Structure 1
Amino acid sequence: MTAELAFTNARIVLEDSIVSGSVLVRDGKIVDISEGNVRTGEDLEGDYLIPGLVELHTDHLEQHYSPRPGVRWNMTAAIQAHDAQVASSGITTVFDCLRMGADEDGGFERGEMRGMADAIQAAEREGRLRSNHLIHLRCEVSADNVLEHFSDFETDPFVRLVSLMDHAPGQRQFQTMDQYIFYYQKKRGLSDDVFAEFIARRQAESARNSTPHRLAIAKVCSERSITVASHDDATLSHVGEAIENGVKIAEFPTSFDAAKASHEAGMSVLMGAPNVVRGKSHSGNIAARDLAEKGVLDVLSSDYVPLSLLYAPFVLADEVEGVSLPQALAMVTATPAKSVGLNDRGRIAPGLRADLVRVHRQEGVPVARAIWREGRRVA
């Protein structure tokens, strides 16, 4: 039996324009887009109809699994709570970040993230989830045990994205010590002597591990056709290293020079949607809006606030000259999908998945009134 769904009286956001009209969906795919209300169907009352959002980097699942230090929640329950929040934010494809490598900032024991991945895949099979969940491995290359953790995923087809990161002091996100002191010394209440020993250990680990681990993981990803992301690149040297490692996505570059060089090298420059909404980085680095103004921002990620992925494109379109709403929404739909090789989604076009979101917005925070994944309403 053919499943057919029609929408009318919608403001349809296409790649380069917004048209008032109708969309026809059949068997989970978009089959027709018509200007004007030429067909009967669900009346969207002039609301926007946009592609389902594609989220590449969110730590949100981790917050549900470990809501307090030392606390572990039931994995399936954590996944369902996370899924409900991302889906209600209009995210129909989400790459769940799983942390590889335990460092001085904590982390998880070997086997925990493998167990989480198994629980995600079981939840998908059992029809528990509204959004389509894939896996992003966040590899702390300075950690002694990152390769052991990574090896637990050597045959997992759900792994579609791997990021290479080093959070040691003096590196990338923490080039200066001011933010590092706030994050690690003040929040933990460490004395100056204990903090000095902590820094020395972290820097020694980075010097010993980062380069060989980065190369080893990048090699595996190349062999398995997994998209690789760099993380917190700050210098042209970092960008050159990323190019050598086959990086396709530059996550959260911390300087304009690094962002510009990454963009010009063909990488998708990814920044945080909360950065856009707040107007600044929480760690004191470059503002995403500044990159948008200069034309070197390609992708947004909700990072730690799922709703920000729907909110931020409207902020950019409202406040950054030269950025239209279709261009801003492409940063959370078409471009992230293309960056990881998901060519069946991210746009409203015939033949693509009917991952769709009805959005009501007069001003301020937009509301996702309804969400469809492959033509099936999920929220």
Structure 2
Amino acid sequence: MKHILSRMLLVAATITFYSCDKELGLDTKYDNSQSTIIPDPDDNYNPNKVGEWDQFTLSDKSIINQVDADMKGYWPDGKLSIIKDDTSGKYICFWGEKYSYRTEADTPYPEDHISQVTEANRVFGQGISDIAGFNDGGSWFIGVHKLSDGRLAGFFHAESHWPGDGIAYKSVGVAYSSDNGKTWTSGEKILNVNFPKPTTPTWSGLGDGCVVYNKELGKFICYYSAHIEDEDFKICMAASDANDGVSGSWKKWNGSDFAISGFDAATGLGGVDHKIEGLSSIAGANPSVMWNSYLKRWVMVYSSWGQAIYMSTSEDGLNWEKPISITDKEEPATYPNLISSKGDLEGAVIVKIYYGSNQNNLGIRDFAYRTITYK
């Protein structure tokens, strides 16, 4: 997903900031004076306590050393997906890049996994190669989920490139694993735009997203970025009510329901993409979404084309609040990931946000994180 740099260079870096009732600089927007005080862990998932989503402290930035990691300098490059191995008690982290990696550690936190991000632990993705296929340019995991039959479903951002060119035509696919993520099926496409791959290299398609399972709706939901006619790349969504999210079961959001074809195997195309209205004020990509048991809401963070991270929440996963900026406008920030002590799918009072910091013109970035503590 390093192509986000190219997209950013096409737009102005100046963003119109806003908030509910506070200024947006981190030193004034939020009261950080108590940011080092950690709440009682027993209160973290207390169902009798509910906080406000736009009231929180944000800790100082920490940098994760990625010097010895494969693809060093490009972490994170999209979604980090984490599951817990019920047998060993360890956390398995899947790292999305043109190759996707599998690591294990005693905690879900990436700083405890990154030393294992090595060539030997590549488990999915073909890398950049001039071969036919919808993911010849790479396969970035954007959500790994345990299924009732014991398999894992790995949803992934796919890129198809042109020979000798890193420009991508993007889509979303799914693959399955029967050995806890060590090996995977080749993968099938589940979401596509409504036009074929252009003959001339053009940044196009859809993707740069994440996939969650919404228990209340009984659906997998993919939040992704797609170009909206006469606008920009906005956050959209599609859903599958199949228990394995199989190809052919996905429908795109039409503004009020999931009713548009996600991918038709006969034509190779999907239907027209529609933006999520509540998020339409800020264009961007790479959402990370988790259920927050303390807020009783879904929380989303994503990055704008001006390299700022925005946050929004939703009670049902469909209707989203107007997003607010949560990063300092002086620090370029991209590829956000929400991770808690339970992984990337559920959080509460305390959640860490991992992101790419200070990305330069070559796409090289620091791997940073801060701690969010909701009030």
| Superposition TM-score, scaled by structure 2 size | 0.30
Of structures 1 and 2, the larger Rg is shown by 1
| Superposition TM-score, scaled by structure 1 size | 0.29
